[in-house]
Amino acid sequence: EAQVTQNPRYLITVTGKKLTVTCSQNMNHEYMSWYRQDPGLGLRQIYYSMNVEVTDKGDVPEGYKVSRKEKRNFPLILESPSPNQTSLYFCASSLSRDSYEQYFGPGTRLTVT
Amino acid sequence: QQQVKQSPQSLIVQKGGISIINCAYENTAFDYFPWYQQFPGKGPALLIAIRPDVSEKKEGRFTISFNKSAKQFSLHIMDSQPGDSATYFCAATDSWGKLQFGAGTQVVVTP
């Protein structure tokens, strides 16, 4: 089944404790992206990657890191999480930069205390 | 700053009624306007999309109307069903494929 998977689905952590949220897609998509969803703000893009080893900042990149060492994986790293990073995170992928349909993962709900 | 403004935040419609969600944008570089549907606990999924050279697109009970001069577009859900209860996001993207989302509209269809 073609899908985007994220792990973990739920995470509660404390301020400053480094964490990684994994994202993997099995559709051989070139383009991958991370979003955060907050009430009243919709989805805001954090980082995106047009291909392996190519990443760029989205609208809200502060406090996040990403890497794209393999085509299928695009982990999101929070080096020192803070309470304002409490949010619902979605990973998405699409065939290419020019392919407008993005496929979203099921989401990761992160709480930072 | 939200580049795509969406309204209303929420709406309640009776089964069989019409749901209308409106969006407006400023960036004339946007060239593709998708709508995403999101059910609780799920990621958004593409519902329907339109390009600015078309004024209307219909897929089943879902219709997008697009007004290029006013930089506005809207989603109409005809004959709304309880299964349509979800959050709907309008979005816009330019040729770089970067999606800008609206804030979302929670639609509740009552039996």
E strand or H helix at B69:
none
What pLDDT is stored for residue B1 in this prediction? 65
Residue B18: pLDDT over 80: yes
Give the per-residue pLDDT at A40: 84
8 Å CB contact between B92 and B5: no
Kindly indicate the confidence band of residue A98, based on its pLDDT and cuts at 50, 70 and 90. low
CA angle (A99 as vertex; B76, B55 as ends), nearest 5: 35
- What's the CA gap between B111 and B109, in Å, rounded? 7
Per residue in A26-79, pLDDT (tens digit) is 999 999 999 999 988 889 999 999 899 989 998 899 999 999 999 999 999 999
**A52-61, B84-93, B96-105: segment of lowest average pLDDT:** B96-105
Return the number of CB contacts < 8 Å for A and B. 55
- Give the mean model confidence (pLDDT) for residues B6-11: 96
Burial pattern B16-25, b for ≥16 Cβ within 10 A else e, equals: eeebbbbbbb
User: What's residue A45's pLDDT?
Assistant: 92
What pLDDT does A4 receive? Answer: 96
A47, A88, A100, A101: best to mutate for the B interface, most B CBs within 10 A: A100
Q: Would you call A12 exposed, middle or buried from its count of C-beta atoms within 10 A (0-12, 13-18, 19+)? A: exposed
Instruction: Please tell me whether residue B52 adopts helix, strand or coil conformation.
Output: coil
Say if the Cβ atoms of A101 and B89 lie within 8 Å: no
Percent above pLDDT 90 for chain A: 81
Tell me how far CA of residue A21 lies from CA of A5, A65, A107, in angstroms.
10, 11, 10
- In the predicted structure, residue B97 carries a pLDDT above the cut 70: no
For range B93-110, the mean pLDDT: 87
How far apart (Å, rounded) are the C-alpha atoms in residues B83 and B101? Answer: 23
Comparing A94 with A24, which gets the higher pLDDT?
A24
Q: How far apart are CA B46 and CA A30, in angstroms?
A: 18
Preferred mutation among A38, A49, A97, A102 to probe B, highest tally of B CBs within 10 A = A102
**Residues in B touching A94 (Cβ below 8 Å):** 97
- Torsion sign over Cα B20, A101, B26, B29: negative
- pLDDT: is B32 or A14 the higher one? A14
Q: How far is CA B39 from the centre of its chain?
A: 14
**Rounded to whole angstroms, what are the CA distances from B82 to A14, B77, B79, B86, B111?**
40, 12, 10, 9, 6
Q: Are A18 and A80 in contact (CB under 8 A)?
A: yes
Average pLDDT over residues B74-96: 93
Average pLDDT of chain A, as a whole number: 93
Give CA angle at B85 (B80, B91), nearest 5°.
95
